[in-house]
Structure 1
Amino acid sequence: MLDDRDRKILGLLQADGEMPVGEIADSVALSASACSRRIARLKEEGYIARSTVELDRRKMGLPTTVFVIVRTGSHAAGWLEQFHAAVGAIPEIVEVHRLTGNFDYILKIVLPDVEHYDVVYKQLVGRIELFDMSAYISMETVKQAKGLPTNYG
């Protein structure tokens, strides 16, 4: 069960995963050792799934985002496994969500430029048969959260 200090610790770590324990402890009015134990518990209980580093997409040469809406012709277990393997094998596809409604999946693809979408498209359709794909180029990121809300759970 999370208390207010746990939630604040999680929020601080989401904002800066390299924040020193002493600074976190000061922010939540705990000793460094007590704060360190809480962080260890939060990891052990699975609230902190992993620690990563966020790279600058422009500096990495991937400033373009394309969202692709996919409709499938099959929902068989074998096809689903093949689809998961196909999207998993293409590193430019950074997110895949299964949807309700008129479409089956949405893919988030990061690219060096719009023209490179054709390369990813050919890789995907070469691995799996799809009924319909529609691509949408992101013109601007209006909001990109750096973490999850911490007031649940």
Structure 2
Amino acid sequence: MKQKLDAIDRKLLELLQKSCDLPINELAAAVHLTVTPCWRRIQRLKDLGVISQQVALVERQKVNLGVTVFVAVRTRDHDLPWLEKFRATVQAIPEIVEVYRMSGDVDYLLRVVVPDIAAYDQVYKQLIRQVPLSDVSSSFAMEELKYTTAVPLNYAAG
């Protein structure tokens, strides 16, 4: 369900997407509110599920995860038991950080972060050992041109 967000809500979300640990007094000043109403708005955004969680983003290179692999998966199985097994399998492999069910020729697209090709091979073997797949195609990212966790807020209902 779309939530009604006004300009102050959108500005708060914009600021929090850049740094969720900004002091409440700085956030309040940036949106021209006093601290208590600003805090209440943030709590409301949390209660509505607009803010789903606040996390620390880890620099992958600093923790030896410099290789990103995009994995296109095709399967012949499209039943619910297979999907539940696939979901449980990918959720249990920490190197698989994103998974999408796709339209078109590819059934699922995975983003995997690993230190090197050998580590990816271990992830690949773990995946195919646990779930029947008809085709797995891996593409290694050569350069990251843009990465953000921030979503555009210009579509938020006002």
Q: Same fold (TM over 0.5)?
A: yes
Gaps spanning 5+ residues in structure 2: where? none
Aligned residues: 153
Over residues 6-59 of structure 1, what are the superposed CA-to-partner deviations in whole Å (9 max), with x where a residue is unaligned? 000001001000000111111111111111111111111111111111111111
Which secondary structure does the structure 2 equivalent of 1:40 belong to?
helix
| Number of the residue aligned with 1:109 | 112
After the TM superposition, which residues 85-100 of structure 1 pair with which residues of structure 2 at under 5 Å, given as runs? Answer: 85-100=88-103
1:17 is aligned to 2:17: no
Structure 1 residue 150: deviation in Å?
A: 1.3
Under a length normalisation based on structure 1, what TM-score does the superposition of the two structures give? 0.97
Calculate percent identity across the aligned residue pairs.
47
Write the letter of the residue equivalent to 1:100.
S
C-alpha separation between the residues in 2 aligned to 1:101 and 1:42? 35
Gaps spanning 5+ residues in structure 1: where? none
Write the letter of the residue equivalent to 2:10.
R
Structure 1 residue 152: deviation in Å?
A: 2.0
Aligned-residue CA RMSD (Å): 0.8
Which secondary structure does the structure 2 equivalent of 1:58 belong to?
helix
After the TM superposition, which residues 1-153 of structure 1 pair with which residues of structure 2 at under 5 Å, given as runs? Answer: 1-153=4-156
